Structure 1
């Protein structure tokens, strides 16, 4: 999805990588991904958006391809979804991880998300290939979608586990349902206006605060100025701050499964890429991405280090 800023501990990482080419990134020894899949002589530029998860995915991809002897230039940390997508379609980069919901709604101009993840992926992949010659590799099971988060202890105290529970609280005691949202979420049809309409409540403006997206996690953690807030489901700060995303029991929020996207010609010339990346995608579930993101946002590690350690732990690349 998404246009999320990384936490303060990751800002230095973004500053060093954003918009900068690197051809001398982290080296990778052969592991399971490279067995029978040689990319010797091939050169690729791997890109990403600017937020933590994308920086990690960029490094995972670069190292996976290097383990099969490809030469990889990095363009990690491009500014926003539209910029990164334009870099792919123009050929400035060869590949990056995109989210099914973003492509379906933003790039393919469909107004209604598809609730079934497999159908959402299939339709987005088919349309993007037919209209734009963009190929989608296998989607990860992780779903980096919007959610309403709350401190776990507060959720238990208020007996709020789902968005339907929250709607009841908002209607009966708006003060206890105080909400922090970012300006973009406040105006999106798949954001705050849509949530209120879908779940049948209208929180008074006096009980809503608009903050920068990165500040919302800390605000919810402290309960000031809000008890609830807009989060995304694979963000590492959910685990690091003991937050609980409320269950979207009416399945309002779109599905945002990440998948590596690349020009059709690139994959045709180098079909080994699919065999290298698809096992990686299959291993990226919500808990895994939360943990990888937390290592950057909470522990302050470099995305390249986090990517390398994870790939090695899975045997995808050698130690």
Structure 2
């Protein structure tokens, strides 16, 4: 409990920002869903032959897996808040539409007849009779939708929209229970609180409910306007993928840029998402710079088949040229370390089975119990291609990055994929098997940006090129260990390295 409180105190600013982002996304999505679902349900009540179609349609939309829906939206609307809101609206339609439709359609026919007998118009009957009677059921649908939205909105962190999901994703990535608890509990408290607020609206006079609701919208709108105005100031936005290593790097970028240009205003977006999300954000001017690996460029971001078994320099040169040619992007000089894929086993398992090279695994094929990330299992330069190159065949369990290390430490699995600079290799005393057939491509990190941005910001390019050829594999593994295991802030670790290597002054 003491550790949890300490983490909350240390991260209170980040928590408040994430909470505000979560509230904004959730309320905006709820309002849009209400504006679509309630009028549609009222119309369907008057045209009941369409009722089954719309009930089925909203039901089908809600069955689409949230991650799949976000992935489908990215090519059309990019990443960030917009696709998150669209996805949340889709999930909120069913409970609001269904409850509004049932609430009105199930009103006692004698009440409808009485209203008609008094000569009420359709609009007057709707607002004076039908909606007041159906309101408890409509509010119930809105509350259900709101709780659903708040829970699903945690996935917004995967596409750079922020929110409380940032804490959950960071907790999973760093195996930090405190961050997981903060994200999950905060989301649950927010859901209960806003659900009670919606219920309170039902208990007060309609005019007061309308005024309170408009005040809430004004507050959220003012925050959005302020954010939009603030973002008009020219900032340099640097994002990083999930994990300690990208966060360390972007903090180095920030310090180097600001040290080289006192007028630079750098904003960081750590744990922004996976490779394709960041690349899309860069192409759509949602961010200006992010660190990318040469192997990832050739495997994921550029078109066409790429030759295998290249040197690190050849891999970087090809990645740089193809990015420039295909996407008009500038790939700055790479750092020294090569964060390539690797296979790891415990020291005990290595000794018991006389393992040194990856090719040795073919001799103990029946003993292997691999646990690997889904990305590694599915990649051509991962498990799929590896088994062909080395001649062994096993079925690997798909696991979250942090969980696979826990599993091998507990003995539930005996082989994991790894990155050469992972802190867990040191933490759990794991041994890397030599890639004796040079299967894995080189993965050297370097800043990626638009060529237009690079031409407009020569001081930024000069500052970031100070990292060229710096940071060894050992350096990066030690820095990752400091963040993930010793729980030191990534910004402090980055600063210490830059000072120790005379890249900035103390």
Same fold by TM-score greater than 0.5: yes
Q: How many angstroms apart in 2 are the aligned matches of 1:286 and 1:133?
A: 30
TM-score (norm 1): 0.82
Q: Of residues 307, 319, 327 in structure 2, which corresponds to 1:132? A: 327
Q: Of residues 109, 120, 142 in structure 1, which corresponds to 2:315? A: 120
Match of 2:390 in 1: 199
1:220 aligns with 2:408: yes
Q: Of residues 243, 250, 259 in structure 2, which corresponds to 1:67? A: 259
Q: Which has the larger radius of gyration?
A: 2
Match of 1:32 in 2: none
Alpha-carbon deviation of 1:274?
A: 2.9
Q: Of residues 354, 360, 369 in structure 2, which corresponds to 1:159? A: 354
Q: How many angstroms apart in 1 are the aligned matches of 2:301 and 2:377?
A: 21
> Retained in 2: the 8 A contact 1:113–1:255?
no
- How many residues are treated as equivalent by the alignment? 284
Q: Of residues 77, 81, 89 in structure 1, which corresponds to 2:283? A: 89
Match of 2:249 in 1: 57
> Retained in 2: the 8 A contact 1:10–1:52?
no
Match of 2:272 in 1: 78
Cα deviation, 1:81-117, whole Å, max 9, x if unaligned, reads 1111111111111111011111112111233354211
Q: How many angstroms apart in 1 are the aligned matches of 2:457 and 2:476?
A: 27
Q: For 1:36-47, list aligned pairs within 5 A.
A: 43-47=235-239
1:48 aligns with 2:251: no
Match of 1:20 in 2: none
Q: How many angstroms apart in 2 are the aligned matches of 1:273 and 1:108?
A: 25
Q: How many angstroms apart in 2 are the aligned matches of 1:151 and 1:54?
A: 26
> Retained in 2: the 8 A contact 1:101–1:113?
no
SS of aligned partner of 1:304: helix
Cα deviation, 1:276-308, whole Å, max 9, x if unaligned, reads 222323212211111111111111111111111
Specify every segment of 5 or more residues in structure 2 that has no aligned partner in the other structure, as ranges. Answer: 1-168, 184-232
Higher strand share: 1
Q: How many angstroms apart in 2 are the aligned matches of 1:61 and 1:315?
A: 15
Alpha-carbon deviation of 1:10?
A: 8.9
SS of aligned partner of 1:78: coil
Q: Following TM superposition, where does structure 1 have runs of at least 4 consecutive aligned residues deviating by more than 4 angstroms?
A: none
Q: Of residues 427, 439, 456 in structure 2, which corresponds to 1:269? A: 456
Q: For 1:172-183, list aligned pairs within 5 A.
A: 174-175=366-367, 177-183=368-374
RMSD: 2.4
Match of 1:186 in 2: 377
Deviates most, 71-80 or 53-62: 71-80
Q: How many angstroms apart in 1 are the aligned matches of 2:386 and 2:412?
A: 20
SS of aligned partner of 1:109: coil
Q: For 1:299-310, list aligned pairs within 5 A.
A: 299-310=486-497
Match of 2:466 in 1: 279
User: Closer, same or farther in 2 for the Cα pair 1:159/1:148, shift >3 Å?
Assistant: same
Q: How many angstroms apart in 2 are the aligned matches of 1:259 and 1:113?
A: 21
Specify every segment of 5 or more residues in structure 1 that has no aligned partner in the other structure, as ranges. Answer: 17-40
> Retained in 2: the 8 A contact 1:10–1:296?
no
> Retained in 2: the 8 A contact 1:209–1:225?
no
Match of 2:339 in 1: 144
> Retained in 2: the 8 A contact 1:46–1:75?
yes
TM-score (norm 2): 0.53
SS of aligned partner of 1:282: coil
Q: Greater relative contact order: 1 or 2 (C-alpha under 8 angstroms, separation 6 or more)? A: 1
Match of 2:428 in 1: 241
Q: How many angstroms apart in 1 are the aligned matches of 2:284 and 2:173?
A: 27
Alpha-carbon deviation of 1:43?
A: 4.0
> Retained in 1: the 8 A contact 2:387–2:393?
yes
